[in-house]
Structure 1
Amino acid sequence: MKYVIGVDLGTSAVKVLLVDQSGAVTAQASAAYPLQQPQPGYSEQNPEDWVSGVKDAIEKLFATSKVAASDIEGLSYSGQMHGLVLLDAAGKVLRPAILWNDTRTTKQSEEIMAKMGDKFLEITRNRPLEGFTLPKILWVKENEPEIFKQAATFVLPKDYVRYRMTGTLNMELSDAAGTVMVDIAKKAWSQEVCDAFDLPMSICPPLVEATDQVGMISADFAKESGLATSTAVFGGGADNACGAIGAGILRPDQAMCSIGTSGVILAYEPDTQADYHGQLHFFNHAVPGRFYSMGVTLAAGYSLSWFKKTFAPEASFNDFVGSASTSTIGAHGLLFAPYIVGERTPYADAKIRGSFIGIDGKQTRADFVRAVLEGIVFSFRDILDIYEANGKNFKQLVSIGGGSKSELWLQIQADIFNKEVVRLESEQGPGMGAAMIAAVGLGWFADFSGCAEKFIAVKKVYQPNPEHVAEYQQLHQIYQQIYPQTKKMTGALLDFEESHQV
């Protein structure tokens, strides 16, 4: 039997999957790494921790699987998006990576739009939000000029790991699109964007497609990890693009609902005709020649984990989430807006903060858990509203991540979305997408559709309950009033807090 490895480089840990030619996950392993937050709003990591984590996880994979390294034909990646890794001329890291959830770049984001306006949207198909890479580059240029002078190039997290594993430096297109420096339609770095901000084109590495073979495992990395130098390495993809592939989202009538730390509603786009005017992200796909659009809730699963850690640290996760079944639709009059770290879609607002609305002395912790589950899905409903306003009508949504682990939460999704919600037999998310990229790159399958038929199976389809749908539609109308009614207050509270920090 031959195998591929999918490397899923996340924000808190790396997960590796060993997948055989039938799509079965033979073994998996993970390794955690730390996050640094040196100042409020800052989020950084040491890129060497990613490399060490990948080595450790692969070593664990070999220890548990007993598969021979020579039987692993290919390897590919899914990567956390937008993180800035600056390299000098020798390929050495110049400073800690600035991550996707770092919010220090509000000033630079505003300057980009002030300078380029609609032209920027026309080229990149995205607004320059704080999380994206270009504002980070401009922040370093302005605030750390001595470091910036030494910068010869930059890469994104998974591309740095791939560089360390192969010795070949490049950037994969679906991830590069999230830098907001790429002309999406032309699939090339934008000279116009670089010129506007006095950035040399030489800082932009060569672009590759997800299924391009970019090299083999280097002798040094083979020695350190146990992999064979005969293992082919492919470009990989941005985590959301890989999540979509791993969920089988390969048609325009499907969408993906992903609940991780952040949350995503993602749709497959066969071409560049759809224009969401910057309300949704629009990126090149890891499926060569295709595209995808998505809206993002910044604190989806994070809202739930924050609430559990703060108010129920002793409870098991299953019991904690399951307690929401003792509550009711609407949590006995309680709504939650999951804006606890700001929001991205439909409100690109770094200063909005979360709210519980309707707190009553009769409510229990179970009601608060239910309100958090529903509030996260209401934020996704906001994203679906944008799609529907632009003529999209999805037949079904495939749920992956934390939201696919709970029967109750899956039914809440079906009822709030008023759509079929699919749970997969084996939900491995972006890691499976990465493995599928390697499988297609190797020629095991002619395309991703053929691979999906073999690798992905449906476990259950959740149908919307018409009575519940009607109740949730009423509640969503109330939920949509929370942002405009609390924006000024929560912004003032945030300003107060920042001004009183020691």
Structure 2
Amino acid sequence: MLLLGIDIGTSSVKVSVVDAATQKAVATAQYPDEESPITALHPGWAEQSPDMWWQQAQQAISKCNTSGKYNPQDIAAIGIAYQMHGLVLVDKDQKLLRDSIIWCDSRAVEIGQQAFDAIGHEECLSHLLNSPGNFTASKLAWVKQNEPGIYDRIDKIMLPGDYIAMKLSGEITTSISALSEGVFFDFINNSLSKDIINHYGFSESLFPRVQDVFSTHGGVLPSIAQQLGLKAGIPIAYKAGDQPNNALSLNVLNPGEVAATAGTSGVIYGVSDQLTYDPQSRVNTFAHVNYTQQQKSLGVLLCINGTGSLYRWTKNLFGSSVSYTQMNEQASKAPLGSDGLRILPFGNGAERMLNNELVGVHFHNIDLNLHTPAHISRAVQEGIACAFRYGVDIMRENGMSPKIIRAGKANLFLSDLFAQTFVNATGIPVELYNNDGSVGAALGAGIGAGIFSSPAEAFNKMERIQVIEPTSANFHPVYQEWKALLQKQLKN
């Protein structure tokens, strides 16, 4: 029995077809090969077209199908993972009203802060587990204030994965996990947040039907099935944001377990059974994929917006002929500490862990007679590792002290230097797995469709491929200097 997983990323869409019996991918495809564009109409803004995601998803599925490694008619269920916090708006005919305001867009920071002050900090934190901040609810409020003609035509609001599920099935659903990532959910009252609804003046009719993450979110339409070579009616049986899905992909489901990723953004995601929150909302708490009203399973998320995006920017600076593998090899030839070169990696929107400040990327101590591309590549990796350490310390302040972190051997963790620097910076060992978000989404669909009896069964064949322990290399002085530069920048 085969399962299809679709991962709607910021840079591209990736799909995998997974054999449920082996839990392994029989085919994987990505589209496009180059990073997708982000539209920035003003500084701090970031938008993408949901129709672009849909076209890319179809192209990636077609690429998988043409591999000849399986019969598309044997696919029994579909799972979807997606970039979190994006706002998608459709009218009563399910037509898009505007491009999506995506996760790294900063335009609604002030709106969210005003809501935080008006509703009350303690009320927001105890019920929402977050400040309204720059999340989906505040982005919707921005549309209401600035684009009233569009707002008045909204029939339903969605997150990116909901839109792809709608295009496949014609149905629009959401989940508690999705509502919480938009900061629409009241954890105390187990309902849509009256505080948010009333403060922003939203109608509850804008919100889709709420279902469990692991449930049928519609069946594939006959016309779409014919186009994609699938069986009509197969269920979309799982939808989750990319970071909860990454945690699921690493079998991170129980209190105290922690996952990490270093793709376009960098994330530490720890599971808790407590309704916990950071008083400054620098880390954020959402309902995990296995959250129920009976079993409180929360994901505590630290996000650094500009990790892989900074490495991509650096690659483009060096020229298209330079590969990431070559950059990693170069970086390994530079010494620990990059001969004094320090980089603050914060150039992709407002950083929640820095109290929603727009800090930007900063290069410090460049010596034109000393520093080479190897130094820059290493300093970028060290700067990102320092940002992770800064965030882990915030998580420790909030009672989460990881003993080990699980990550997929992908993106920046493909660099042995970065993986070791991350471990030395945080002081926490890392277990690496051959996990993949699209594979995780496929296995999630197997859970939702009842092919697996539980998440534990869906991931019981997961194999650890490497453990990285801290070494004797003294990274502490590098981090302390980096932290001092950041604190100076935050004061300016």
Query: TM-score category by the smaller chain?
Result: over 0.9
2-structure distance, mates of 1:273, 1:351? 29
1-structure distance, mates of 2:68, 2:104? 35
- Correspondence 1:242 to 2:245: yes
2-structure distance, mates of 1:335, 1:34? 28
Structure 1 match to 2:10: 11
Per-residue deviation at 1:394?
Answer: 1.6
Structure 1 match to 2:415: 406
More displaced stretch, 353-362 vs 430-439: 353-362
Cα distance 1:343–1:255, how it changes in 2: closer, same or farther (>3 A)? Answer: farther
Per-residue deviation at 1:373?
Answer: 0.3
Structure 2 match to 1:87: 90
What whole-Å deviation, never above 9, does each CA across 1:359-406 have from its counterpart, x for those lacking one? 233232212211110110110111111222233222211223412211
Per-residue deviation at 1:185?
Answer: 4.5
- List runs of 5+ in structure 2 lacking aligned partners: none
Matched to 1:5, the amino acid is L
Matched to 2:245, the amino acid is C
**Contact 2:129–2:276, Cα closer than 8 Å, also in 1:** no
Matched to 2:57, the amino acid is V
Structure 2 match to 1:156: 159
Structure 2 match to 1:328: 335
2-structure distance, mates of 1:419, 1:12? 29
Structure 1 match to 2:42: 39
1-structure distance, mates of 2:252, 2:425? 20
Aligned with residue 126 of structure 1, among 114, 130, 148: 130
Structure 1 match to 2:404: 396
Per-residue deviation at 1:25?
Answer: 0.7
Aligned with residue 458 of structure 1, among 434, 456, 464: 464
**Contact 1:171–1:205, Cα closer than 8 Å, also in 2:** yes
Structure 1 match to 2:26: 26
Which runs of structure 2 are paired with 1:114-263 in the superposition (5 Å)? 114-118=117-121, 119-130=123-134, 132-263=135-266
Which runs of structure 2 are paired with 1:407-426 in the superposition (5 Å)? 407-424=416-433, 426=434
Structure 1 match to 2:386: 378
Structure 2 match to 1:337: 344
- List runs of 5+ in structure 1 lacking aligned partners: 490-502
Per-residue deviation at 1:69?
Answer: 2.9
Structure 2 match to 1:349: 356
**Contact 1:255–1:265, Cα closer than 8 Å, also in 2:** yes
**Contact 1:78–1:237, Cα closer than 8 Å, also in 2:** yes
What whole-Å deviation, never above 9, does each CA across 1:76-106 have from its counterpart, x for those lacking one? 1001111111122222211121111212223
1-structure distance, mates of 2:206, 2:154? 8
Matched residue SS, 2:286? strand
TM-score, length of structure 1 as denominator length: 0.91
**Contact 1:5–1:72, Cα closer than 8 Å, also in 2:** yes
Per-residue deviation at 1:303?
Answer: 1.2
2-structure distance, mates of 1:322, 1:248? 31
1-structure distance, mates of 2:463, 2:275? 31
CA RMSD of aligned residues (A): 1.8
Cα distance 1:343–1:102, how it changes in 2: closer, same or farther (>3 A)? Answer: closer
| Identity over aligned pairs, percent | 27
Cα distance 1:187–1:452, how it changes in 2: closer, same or farther (>3 A)? Answer: farther
**Contact 2:105–2:349, Cα closer than 8 Å, also in 1:** no
Per-residue deviation at 1:474?
Answer: 2.5
**Contact 1:262–1:302, Cα closer than 8 Å, also in 2:** yes
Matched to 2:465, the amino acid is K
Cα distance 1:246–1:217, how it changes in 2: closer, same or farther (>3 A)? Answer: same
Structure 1 match to 2:444: 437
1-structure distance, mates of 2:478, 2:126? 36
1-structure distance, mates of 2:254, 2:424? 23
2-structure distance, mates of 1:65, 1:208? 35
Aligned with residue 113 of structure 2, among 88, 95, 110: 110
Matched residue SS, 1:410? helix
Matched to 1:316, the amino acid is S
Matched to 1:19, the amino acid is V
Which runs of structure 2 are paired with 1:290-309 in the superposition (5 Å)? 290-309=297-316
TM-score, length of structure 2 as denominator length: 0.93
What whole-Å deviation, never above 9, does each CA across 1:255-299 have from its counterpart, x for those lacking one? 222101111011012x23433222311001112432201111110
Structure 2 match to 1:274: 276
Matched to 1:238, the amino acid is G
Per-residue deviation at 1:63?
Answer: 0.8
More displaced stretch, 2-11 vs 45-54: 45-54
